[in-house]
């Protein structure tokens, strides 16, 4: 019964009586997320935990901020965003952001799939949690 609707006399049940069948079909709640969403969420935490445990300690503040912004933007394996937008959200200058992206690429934490630019759109990146080259 909807809120604010008046109760009809036929729906009032005396104590101890059995509830009559409803006229409407019972509602079935559809889950908002499927099993694949749980797996995707778990996999994202595995990547983040691996990054924090193994790679984060050797990064500068700008490199860390850029990696986290790219990680947050990552969907279906890649992150497509401009360096200016990364810089704005990371709190760094565009030049420092480009330097950080270059260093992350050298360390193996980021791979540039597509280099964007003026009239070419945003760059596309693939994010990795573990550095392929050991830093000292």
Does some domain include residue 23? Answer: no
Determine, yes or no, domain membership for 120. Answer: yes
Phi, psi of 104 (to 5 degrees): -65, -35
Range of the domain at 97: 37-127
31 has a pLDDT exceeding 70: no
Any idea what the CATH number is for the domain that residue 120 is in? Answer: 1.10.10.10
Q: Is residue 83 part of a domain?
A: yes
- Whether residue 109 contacts residue 97, with contact meaning beta carbons closer than 8 Å, is answered with no
Domain count, the chain: 1
Residue 135 lies in a domain: no
pLDDT given for residue 111 in this prediction: 94
pLDDT digits (tens, 9 = 90+) for 105-123: 999 999 999 988 888 889 9
How many angstroms separate the Cα of 98 from the Cα of each of 31, 34, 66, 108?
42, 38, 9, 15
Does the residue 1 lie in any domain?
no
In three-state secondary structure terms, 118 is coil
Residue 27 lies inside a defined structural domain of this protein: no
- Of the listed ranges 19-23, 39-43, 84-88, the least confidently predicted one is 19-23
The rounded distance, in Å, linking the Cα atoms of 41 and 17 is 48
Q: For 44-51, what is the mean pLDDT?
A: 87
Alpha-carbon gap, residue 52 to 22, rounded angstroms: 55
Is residue 28 a part of any domain in this protein?
Answer: no
Residues 6+ apart with CB under 8 A from 125: 70, 78, 79, 80, 81, 101, 110, 111, 112, 113
3-state secondary structure of 124: strand
Q: Is residue 43 situated within a structural domain?
A: yes
Q: How far apart are CA 24 and CA 3, in angstroms?
A: 16
């Amino acid at each position: 019964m909807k809120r604010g609707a008046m109760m009809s006399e036929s729906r009032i049940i005396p104590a101890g009586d059995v509830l009559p069948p409803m006229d409407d079909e019972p509602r079935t709640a559809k889950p908002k997320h499927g099993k694949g969403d749980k797996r995707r969420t778990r996999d994202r935490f595995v990547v983040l935990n691996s990054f924090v445990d193994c790679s984060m300690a050797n990064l500068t503040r700008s490199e860390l901020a850029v990696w986290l912004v790219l990680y947050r933007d990552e969907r279906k394996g890649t992150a497509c965003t401009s360096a200016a937008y990364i810089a704005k959200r990371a709190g760094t200058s565009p030049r420092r952001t480009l330097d950080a992206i270059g260093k992350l690429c050298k360390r193996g934490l980021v791979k540039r799939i597509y280099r964007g630019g003026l009239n070419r759109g945003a760059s596309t990146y693939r994010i990795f949690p573990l550095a392929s080259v050991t830093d000292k």
